[in-house]
Structure 1
Amino acid sequence: MASAIADFYKDKNVFITGATGFLGKVLVEKLLRSCPEVEGIYLLIRPRGDQTAQERLNKIIGCKLFDKVRHEQPSFHHKLHAIPGDMCEPALGISQSDVDMLVSKIHILFHSAATVRFDDPLKPSMQLNVVGTQYVIALCHKLKHLQAFVHVSTAYANCDRAYIEEVIYPPPVQPQKLIDALEWMDDSMVTKLTPDLIGKRPNTYTFTKACAEYVLTQEAADLPLAIVRPSIIGASWREPLMGWCDNFNGPSGLFVAAGKGLLRTMRGEYNAYADIIPVDLPANLMIAVAWDTAVSRPENIPVYNSTSGGVNPFRWGEIEGMLISIFKKYPLDKPFRRPNCALASNSFMYQYWQIVSHKGPAYLYDIWLRMIGQKPRIVKMYNKLEKALQSMEYFTLHHWEWSHANVDALMAKMGEEDKKIFKFDCRGLHWPTYMENYVLGTKKYVLKEDMDQLPLAKAHLNKLRNIRWGFNTILIVLFWRVLIARTKIARNIWHLVVSLCFKFLHYLRISSTQGP
């Protein structure tokens, strides 16, 4: 059966911002592999340090993500073109010659570049997420053959609402007025005003993404525009590699910290949805949305919520149990402690376990490092982990519902072959299997650990278990002898227990010498 979507991309030129990001890489790979007759893909890449844009592109396409397309299309790299630029610079920092070339060639534009750091100050976050979007809009207005412009937002742009529909909500302030004001405000003034500006939203990221959506309604309403809103993007589900991920952002970092035994407790609501969406699903959705936008030419700006909670719910409490069992089956190399992470919804209990499980052991370990002449580092490491946990806390404690009418309507328009090739429906996702692949993905692709060393990792985990049992036994003995065994009854019980243990050991020795 023919693929209408793949046929649409035949002889088309695509421009992508954010191609060096997690979602951007998967989007590029999927376009190359499933739309093999696409003419060219142009990627906005910022030179970094001594690396040119082309050198960064060469490094990206050399990773394992592109192994499958490399096997199927050995010359695929000829379709990829690095465009040096910067999202924070006027006109995206693109040279005039490159602009002229893009204006005459580009048919589809995917805008996925953004700062995803939740704790970014408001001014740089607005510059990249909102002003950068304005620069992209200005470029779109110049493109002579533009058929589809897909903007990637976030499902949490309007997280101040419990139920989020596939519509664009007005932000609490006019984005352009705020942009103008930020030009003359100093950093201290911006820091003081930020809590009032973002209102009920937890961070500058969600606030600026909401502002960017509203800017699109003001400046890009005449363009063939659509908005895709993914929730928490996780490792790939099916393609091109199961469990592929390449960074510590979002849940990946939490999973690694839990697997290393560093993360022992975190705030979270057991029954709240962990709205993780595998990265290959929003990538497929973006490709399908561009096709439908170009073919259907909707009058209004369609919004597509790419989430899992209302379709295939998965709860944070379920993750807690799965992680421990999976990391015992596939332990990471040389964990700090045995994996054992627990959720705490109560603030007081969370603070208690933070002291007992995180801060206390960290200070003790740093004291030990000082005693043996090494530089203390564990407290500093836990401070970074605590900062990451605080940024995630809002999303692990709250629960949202999203509508999916536009996503379902798009799926109904697609042929059976396209539904298979460009699958973005998570109803068939089996979460335990996905989580196991996710954990293996962090081990193989993020930490780059050798799976052949798994027996050694299991042996190290058993060693940590024995150390823990021995330590707990010593604590119990000391507690009993020092605090409890002061009365005659307690001493008699102690001697009885010890004598029974000796008798049991004596019985085992006699049984082993007599043999069968």
Structure 2
Amino acid sequence: MMVSIPEYYEGKNVLLTGATGFMGKVLLEKLLRSCPKLKTVYVLVRHKAGKNSQERVEEMISCKLFDRLRDEQPEFNEKIIAVASDLTEVDMALSEEDKENLINCTNIIFHCAATVRFNEILRDAVQLNVIATQQLLFLAQKMKNLDVFIHVSTAFAYCNRKHIEEVVYPPPVDPKKLIDSLEWMDDSLVNDITPKLIGDRPNTYTYTKALAEYIVQLEGAKLNVAIIRPSIVGASWKEPFPGWIDNFNGPSGLFIAAGKGILRTMRASNNAVADLIPVDVVINATIAAAWYSGVNRPRNTMVYNCTTGGTNPFHWGEVEYHVISTFKRNPLEQAFRRPNVNLTSNHLLYHYWIAVSHKAPAFLYDIYLRITGRSPRMMKTITRLHKAMMLLEYFTSNSWEWNTDNVNMLMSQLSPEDKKTFNFDVRQLHWAEYMENYCMGTKKYVLNEEMSGLPAARKHLNKLRNIRYGFNTVLVILIWRIFIARSQMARNIWYFVVSLCYKFLSYFRASSTMRY
């Protein structure tokens, strides 16, 4: 019998990077809440916006995410030690005192820090995702009591492959040679060669995450290392409460744009698998992976493809349906138009809908704002939305197959109690319920809209519906007066189409009556 997960973490000192990020926050909260005898969490945080590391940590743990932990363990903040650090600087800008302390005390490292911007310039992406990982590994090699090094990667690190195993593949280029080259190249040259370097990968994010994995395997050869590869990380499933989300990144921003009625069309395949994964599922698997490697000390680098597509598939067409239906029942405040999104993979049709459903209404609305003495903003919003859509097109138009044998093995090793506390079995995930909680999470936690405002939001949505019906009626009358009423041929075609529709409806009604 292996020790339980909470027993393994008892008395341990954890080093966490990326704690102020989405996944890092959830990991910190879950560790402290479910492993209450954990000794200390050292959090590497840089100074930012005039706030030092301690101030940023205090601000972070004051958010709603930590409310449950605050109720259960009021003194939890005493276990968190903020360490001033900047992963982009030499030696991570650690003081000698802090470095010595980490070398002597750290038992487990969770490396979550990374840039998640898909369009990051290559130099910055390499610095944040590759060099920072390399520097942390150099520090880990000096640590006297290190049990496990956990590196959080992405399931799309090798998205140029359709079938992805739980192994570290050969890198697209030698990371060390690339790092050396970037030192003497100027920015214009780096930007010029970036498309050739990344090749058939869609962006610098997936490219540098693949390089980082190779660095982890290379520099972590003498360490006990595991790599977690989540797919598209979304709102929480259950913990600390359903639907928690705190950012516009990834699909969350598109869901909000759809709910506001701004996003009307998107290039995507209805049948492509939307490999969404709840953030708490990823975190539970990450904590369990560190436990398994710490207890069993496997010979090889353990890789875990933390995905849903092969086990509990959900498609983009289904995502669109649940998002729209949720926001029609529970609308966002001050929606621009009624929620409705058309997914298409046809290039010409996509650009037609962009012109008709996005650009034309935005242009007209900006004219209205100018006339009423306000600053035009909708075209700028549409431009930002289109940029975000372009970054996600690759992932909404393709599907992948991920091997998840290691994840299944890890699940089988958990005790019944640990399976309840650290659940990452996505077979239990009910997508309709999850998507509703996700959408409501964007309303409550990202937009900070109160549920008490729902009646007014529904009234506003009904008003938009009436405006739309009125506009369509006026448009039909204008078309009739301008084009049809003046031409006998057009009238004949019109009457023919109307009669066909009438016959079809009559037949449908008669068939329904006979069945009844």
TM-score, length basis structure 2:
0.94
Pair 1:491–1:68, CA change in 2 (3 A): same
Separation (CA, whole Å) in 1 of partners of 2:493 and 2:127: 71
Q: Which residue of 2 is the match for residue 247 of structure 1?
A: 247
What amino acid is aligned across from residue 249 of structure 1 in structure 2? N
Q: Which residue of 1 is the match for residue 316 of structure 2?
A: 316
Separation (CA, whole Å) in 2 of partners of 1:13 and 1:488: 85
Separation (CA, whole Å) in 2 of partners of 1:428 and 1:130: 35
Pair 1:465–1:147, CA change in 2 (3 A): same
Pair 1:492–1:294, CA change in 2 (3 A): closer
Q: Which residue of 1 is the match for residue 326 of structure 2?
A: 326
Separation (CA, whole Å) in 2 of partners of 1:402 and 1:344: 25
Q: Which residue of 1 is the match for residue 92 of structure 2?
A: 92
Q: Which residue of 1 is the match for residue 216 of structure 2?
A: 216
* Alignment of structure 1 residues 456-471 onto 2, 5 Å: 456-471=456-471
What amino acid is aligned across from residue 5 of structure 1 in structure 2? I
Q: Which residue of 1 is the match for residue 174 of structure 2?
A: 174
Q: Which residue of 2 is the match for residue 507 of structure 1?
A: none
**Mind listing any 5+ residue stretches in structure 2 that lack a counterpart?**
495-516
Deviates more, 1:255-264 or 1:89-98: 89-98
Q: Which residue of 2 is the match for residue 192 of structure 1?
A: 192
Q: Which residue of 2 is the match for residue 237 of structure 1?
A: 237
* Alignment of structure 1 residues 67-216 onto 2, 5 Å: 67-216=67-216
User: 2:234, 2:252 within 8 Å by CA — same for their partners in 1?
Assistant: yes
Q: Which residue of 1 is the match for residue 504 of structure 2?
A: none
Separation (CA, whole Å) in 2 of partners of 1:38 and 1:441: 30
Q: Is structure 2 residue 269 aligned with structure 1 residue 285?
A: no
User: 1:2, 1:417 within 8 Å by CA — same for their partners in 2?
Assistant: no
Q: Which residue of 1 is the match for residue 502 of structure 2?
A: none
Separation (CA, whole Å) in 1 of partners of 2:221 and 2:273: 34
User: 1:85, 1:93 within 8 Å by CA — same for their partners in 2?
Assistant: yes
Aligned residues: 495
User: 1:231, 1:307 within 8 Å by CA — same for their partners in 2?
Assistant: yes
Separation (CA, whole Å) in 2 of partners of 1:54 and 1:198: 38
What amino acid is aligned across from residue 67 of structure 2 in structure 1? D
Shift of 1:340: 0.4
Shift of 1:487: 4.8
* Alignment of structure 1 residues 382-393 onto 2, 5 Å: 382-393=382-393
Separation (CA, whole Å) in 2 of partners of 1:417 and 1:375: 57
Shift of 1:245: 0.3
SS in 1 for 2:428: coil
Separation (CA, whole Å) in 2 of partners of 1:216 and 1:16: 16
Q: Which residue of 2 is the match for residue 60 of structure 1?
A: 60
Separation (CA, whole Å) in 2 of partners of 1:87 and 1:236: 28
User: 1:23, 1:279 within 8 Å by CA — same for their partners in 2?
Assistant: yes
Q: Is structure 2 residue 413 aligned with structure 1 residue 398?
A: no
User: 2:15, 2:108 within 8 Å by CA — same for their partners in 1?
Assistant: yes
Pair 1:86–1:353, CA change in 2 (3 A): same
Separation (CA, whole Å) in 2 of partners of 1:253 and 1:470: 30
Separation (CA, whole Å) in 2 of partners of 1:425 and 1:229: 15
Shift of 1:372: 2.0
Q: Which residue of 1 is the match for residue 508 of structure 2?
A: none
What amino acid is aligned across from residue 470 of structure 2 in structure 1? G
Separation (CA, whole Å) in 2 of partners of 1:149 and 1:474: 65
For residues 328-359 of structure 1, the C-alpha deviation after alignment (integer angstroms, 9 at most, x for no partner) is: 11100101111101101111111110001111
Separation (CA, whole Å) in 2 of partners of 1:48 and 1:23: 19
What amino acid is aligned across from residue 217 of structure 2 in structure 1? T
Shift of 1:220: 1.2
SS in 2 for 1:242: coil
What amino acid is aligned across from residue 35 of structure 1 in structure 2? C
Q: Which residue of 1 is the match for residue 505 of structure 2?
A: none
TM-score, length basis structure 1:
0.94
For residues 41-91 of structure 1, the C-alpha deviation after alignment (integer angstroms, 9 at most, x for no partner) is: 111111102111111111111111111110010111111111111110111
What amino acid is aligned across from residue 179 of structure 1 in structure 2? I
SS in 2 for 1:233: strand
Shift of 1:3: 6.9
Shift of 1:94: 1.3
Deviates more, 1:147-156 or 1:478-487: 478-487
Separation (CA, whole Å) in 2 of partners of 1:97 and 1:492: 88
SS in 2 for 1:65: helix
Separation (CA, whole Å) in 1 of partners of 2:245 and 2:49: 24
* Alignment of structure 1 residues 344-355 onto 2, 5 Å: 344-355=344-355
For residues 13-67 of structure 1, the C-alpha deviation after alignment (integer angstroms, 9 at most, x for no partner) is: 1010000011100000000110000001111111102111111111111111111
What amino acid is aligned across from residue 459 of structure 2 in structure 1? A
SS in 2 for 1:427: helix
Pair 1:384–1:490, CA change in 2 (3 A): closer
SS in 1 for 2:426: coil
What amino acid is aligned across from residue 172 of structure 2 in structure 1? P
* Alignment of structure 1 residues 35-46 onto 2, 5 Å: 35-46=35-46
- Same amino acid, percent of matched pairs: 57
Q: Which residue of 2 is the match for residue 433 of structure 1?
A: 433
Separation (CA, whole Å) in 2 of partners of 1:96 and 1:386: 46
Pair 1:410–1:493, CA change in 2 (3 A): closer
Q: Which residue of 1 is the match for residue 228 of structure 2?
A: 228
User: 1:3, 1:415 within 8 Å by CA — same for their partners in 2?
Assistant: no
Separation (CA, whole Å) in 2 of partners of 1:351 and 1:486: 32
**Mind listing any 5+ residue stretches in structure 1 that lack a counterpart?**
495-516
For residues 176-206 of structure 1, the C-alpha deviation after alignment (integer angstroms, 9 at most, x for no partner) is: 0000001111111111111110111000000
SS in 2 for 1:270: coil
Q: Which residue of 1 is the match for residue 15 of structure 2?
A: 15
User: 1:359, 1:382 within 8 Å by CA — same for their partners in 2?
Assistant: yes
What amino acid is aligned across from residue 62 of structure 2 in structure 1? G
Shift of 1:132: 0.4
Give the 4+ runs in structure 1 shifted more than 3 A.
487-494
SS in 1 for 2:170: coil
SS in 1 for 2:379: helix
What amino acid is aligned across from residue 329 of structure 1 in structure 2? R
Q: Which residue of 1 is the match for residue 294 of structure 2?
A: 294
Pair 1:479–1:107, CA change in 2 (3 A): same
Separation (CA, whole Å) in 2 of partners of 1:492 and 1:174: 70
Separation (CA, whole Å) in 2 of partners of 1:174 and 1:489: 70
For residues 470-499 of structure 1, the C-alpha deviation after alignment (integer angstroms, 9 at most, x for no partner) is: 1111001111111111257988999xxxxx
SS in 1 for 2:261: coil
SS in 1 for 2:228: strand
What amino acid is aligned across from residue 132 of structure 2 in structure 1? G
What amino acid is aligned across from residue 163 of structure 1 in structure 2? H
User: 1:3, 1:417 within 8 Å by CA — same for their partners in 2?
Assistant: no
Coordinate RMSD, CA, aligned: 1.7
Separation (CA, whole Å) in 2 of partners of 1:224 and 1:79: 25
User: 1:3, 1:418 within 8 Å by CA — same for their partners in 2?
Assistant: no
